[in-house]
Structure 1
Amino acid sequence: MKILMVSIPSLHFFRWTSQLQDSGHEVYWFDITGMSEKSERLNWVSQKVSWKLKWNYPGRLFVKKKFPKVYQFLQHFNEYKTSSVFEEYLNEIEPDVVHSFALYLSCTPIISVMEKKSNQKWIYSSWGSDLFYFQNDEKYLKDIKRVLPRVNYLFTDCKRDYEIAKEHGFSGDFLGVFPGGGGFDLAHMEQYKLPNEQRKTILIKGFQGRSGRAISVLKGIECLKKELIDYNIVVFGADDEVFNYVKYSVLKDWFNFQIKGKMSHQEVIQLMGQSKIYIGNSNSDGIPNTLLEAICMEIFPIQSNPGGATEEIINHHINGMLIEDCENVYEIKKIILEAISFLPTANYDKRKLLPELDSAYLQEKVQKIYTNLIA
């Protein structure tokens, strides 16, 4: 079977595609950005990359950085059209199925081609905010309503998004709910887990920006200095907005508070292995991969619940806690206090979800799904 993947070069995409290695399928990747180099991680995949520029002229990056408007004008003449290059590659490969990851990134740019090739089977994987957030924007909703009726098959990372997809025109076959990046190597992660009694860290995801709401969490803990004195509080993956907030916050003077910027995936997993509580807060997401990794590392999770997605895997006050209003500092503070009180008496099976998140288990399921598409 020939499978043509269409995606940006992201960790989630690489991890998902790795599930097909040694499956017997021929796998191709069309890098929708057209700007990346070949991925060594996917060296077994045929890759269409670095196709975007007609001429990579000297000083291009300097012009892009210093004169962005001039750069945009020049690129209008210096870039190949995505749909044209994709159509040429599609005709060359003649795949059994095309698989696009993220609607506005990898479906919308090729929809004109896929409408023309109406008999070409097409899978769409919904990621995070793909449908839940962007359905509220008129421009994106127009794209959503154009793409979904054409799509034949759908993967989502939560049940919520399957319902949203049906509302906006999807009538094809639902292939199931899977983590956006596939499963997790539980055996590898095991080595980084400290015994529960040795864990003293509260780990906070530091995203703000469009959908992250880390600052609401920080505001919630500012008045809990006494209650959190025995914990190390670590913010990871913090963006500039969060760093700037902390700079003028009382938190900067706490001896047990740390803020870290971008970290490697391996560093995050190691940090999780030392953590007792994980907090992720946003106004839009599906089932966050970081949350699933926290569950794999047996951390007690506190997570926002946009559109009811997170409650699909977290039972409030049983295997974690849900933030219903990501902006409500009082609610967040109250939940953190409840979690600290709850942990010593918690009696739940931390490993209940783990078998269903294991990479080997999910890889077998995913390979069967692809195979059955042409059975």
Structure 2
Amino acid sequence: MKILLVSISNHHFFQWANQLKDCGHEVYWFDVMDGGPRSEKIQWVNQIKGWKMRWDFPLRQTIKAISPKCYRFIQNLNERNTVTVFEKIIKTIQPDLVHCFEMNLSGLPILSVMQNHKKIKFTYSSWGSDMYYFKEHGVTVVKVQKFLQRVDYLITDCHRDYRIAVANGYTNKFLGVYPGNGGIDYTTDNIQPIANRKFILIKGYESFGCKASKIVDALQLLPIASFENFEIIIYSADAAIIEKVNSAPFFKKCKHQIIARTTFVDNKKMLKMMGMASIHVSNNISDGMPNTLLESVGMGAFPVQSNPGNASAEVITHGINGYLITDPLDENEIATWIEKAISNVNLRTQAQEINIKLAQRNYTRAILKTKISQLYQEIFL
């Protein structure tokens, strides 16, 4: 079968796409944003790149930096229309299935084309907050409902988003809940016992939906002595977080390191760090099922995790195998759960055993490969 995948250039998408390798399908990828060069991570896929600009003119990046207004004017003339290009691709490839990942960036831009080709099966994978927070992203209820009416098959990364889709009129086939990256290769050799775990890992995203700043504030509410046996590692740290940490006297008194978001960290190295971490803290006001949550629990790190729309509660039972943050904007609450996690070694030991078994059973990549292959077979029956 011919499968046309539609997505932005994204690590999680590449991981999902690779689950289709050697499954016997002819697979294409339309990079809907046309960002960057061909991906080396999915060399086996027919990649549709370089479609957006009519002419990659000299000094383009310089003009963009010096005169954004002039650059936008030029690009309005220079950029090809997504709908026009995608229509031609559909007619050329004649796919049996179009599978888009994320609604706002990938699904809505091609919706009008898919409405013109209703015989082509259309699958949509919800990602992160695209369903949960669609209004805040400027997408109207009418647009969401129109989009879902065209979708034949739905995949979500949490049960919450399936319920939201149904509430917005989705009535077609639900294929199930799967991690957005198609599963995780847990490096079990790197899973350390509680006594050897000396890191507290903090996810450092700070944006519209991500609030690492509140974790940083929470840490400073606790006694320095709480961290005497730990090194705080703030990874994927945005510039605002780096500045906040570097200017805080608290962090001059405790062992810590910052890994900037712009620094590439291989996934295997990240998993190894999680396997050495006592606690993993992540805080968002909007998200789906965080891949970092699934990665960290599978490597035995105790999760202190925000819970937008109760998505994280599908994995974490508060006080049993982690702590759930009810108010991601309340640094006092976050501080309470971090302090309890540090002090309760027995709970962390119990949670580690529960979480590793949970992850191995539900999120292991090798197991999910078969299920994902069967999922596509189900579509083509």
TM (norm. structure 1) is 0.96
Name the SS of the counterpart of 2:190 in structure 1.
coil
Structure 2 residue identity aligned to 1:275:
A
Alignment of 1:115-154 (within 5 A): 115-154=115-154
Name the SS of the counterpart of 2:154 in structure 1.
strand
Q: Which residue pairs with 2:364 in the alignment?
A: 358
Change (3 A) 1:341 1:358: same
Shift of 1:37: 2.0
Name the SS of the counterpart of 1:175 in structure 2.
strand
Q: Which residue pairs with 1:192 in the alignment?
A: 190
Tell me the C-alpha RMSD between the 2 structures: 1.5
Change (3 A) 1:198 1:308: same
**How many residue pairs get matched?**
373
Residue 370 (structure 1) aligned with residue 376 (structure 2): yes
Shift of 1:258: 2.0
Shift of 1:267: 3.3
Shift of 1:99: 0.2
**Counterpart contact for 1:231–1:256, Cα < 8 Å:** yes
Structure 1 residue identity aligned to 2:288:
G
Change (3 A) 1:227 1:174: same
Residues 89-126 of structure 1 deviation map (CA, whole Å, 9 limit, x = unaligned): 11111111100000001111111111111222100000
Structure 1 residue identity aligned to 2:363:
L
Q: Which residue pairs with 1:41 in the alignment?
A: 41
Name the SS of the counterpart of 2:328 in structure 1.
coil
Name the SS of the counterpart of 1:27 in structure 2.
strand
Whole-Å separation in 1 of the counterparts to 2:247 and 2:37: 40
Residues 285-317 of structure 1 deviation map (CA, whole Å, 9 limit, x = unaligned): 011001111012111111000000000010111
Whole-Å separation in 1 of the counterparts to 2:293 and 2:300: 11
Residues 224-270 of structure 1 deviation map (CA, whole Å, 9 limit, x = unaligned): 21222221111111101111211321233123122221241333223
Q: Which runs of 5+ in 1 are unaligned?
A: none
Runs (4+) of structure 1 exceeding 4 A deviation are: none
**Counterpart contact for 2:6–2:101, Cα < 8 Å:** yes
Structure 1 residue identity aligned to 2:355:
K
Q: Compare 131-140 and 5-14 and name the one that shifted more.
A: 131-140
Whole-Å separation in 2 of the counterparts to 1:82 and 1:137: 20
Whole-Å separation in 1 of the counterparts to 2:342 and 2:254: 19
**Counterpart contact for 1:325–1:331, Cα < 8 Å:** yes
Shift of 1:138: 5.0
**Counterpart contact for 2:185–2:364, Cα < 8 Å:** yes
Q: Compare 240-249 and 106-115 and name the one that shifted more.
A: 240-249
TM (norm. structure 2) is 0.94
State the percentage of identical aligned residues: 40
Match of 2:216 among 204, 215, 218: 218
Q: Which residue pairs with 1:274 in the alignment?
A: 276
Q: Which residue pairs with 2:350 in the alignment?
A: 347
**Counterpart contact for 1:104–1:143, Cα < 8 Å:** no
Whole-Å separation in 1 of the counterparts to 2:18 and 2:124: 17
**Counterpart contact for 1:209–1:241, Cα < 8 Å:** no
Q: Which runs of 5+ in 2 are unaligned?
A: none
Structure 2 residue identity aligned to 1:7:
S
Whole-Å separation in 1 of the counterparts to 2:106 and 2:339: 42
Residues 348-372 of structure 1 deviation map (CA, whole Å, 9 limit, x = unaligned): 4232212211111101001001011
**Counterpart contact for 2:104–2:139, Cα < 8 Å:** no
